Amino acid sequence: MKVICAGIQKTGTKSVAEALRILGYEVHDVFQQYFYEEELWKKLLSNRITKEDYVEAFKDVDAVTDFPASVVWEEILKAFPDSKVILTLRSSEDEWYSSVKKHYEVAYNLIKVGWNDTLYTILTYLAGPLNRDFTNFTILFMNNAFGTRFPWGIAPEPILRSRYRQHNMYVRSRCPPRQLLIYNVKDGWGPLCEFLGVSVPDAPFPMKNVASSFVKEVTSNRGENDSGFSARSHKELVLRVSLFVVSLIVLLLYLICYLI
Q: Using the predicted structure, report yes or no on whether residue 210 has a pLDDT greater than 90.
A: no
- pTM (2 decimals)? 0.76
114 pLDDT tier (thresholds 50, 70, 90): very low
- Domain positions in the chain: 3-259
C-alpha angle with apex 242: 252 to 106, nearest 5 degrees?
115
The pLDDT score that the predictor gives to residue 234 is 63
**Least confident among 172-186, 213-227, 236-250:** 213-227
User: Comparing 43 with 125, which gets the higher pLDDT?
Assistant: 43
pLDDT digits (tens, 9 = 90+) for 57-103: 999 999 999 888 998 999 999 999 999 999 999 999 999 988 888 77
Q: Which ranges constitute the DSSP H helices of the chain? A: 13-22, 30-36, 38-45, 51-57, 73-79, 93-109, 117-127, 129-146, 157-174, 189-196, 213-219, 229-259
The pLDDT score that the predictor gives to residue 229 is 64
For residue 67, how far is the Cα from the chain centroid? 6
Topology at the third CATH level for domain 3-259:
Rossmann fold (3.40.50)
**Mean pLDDT of all residues in the chain?**
80
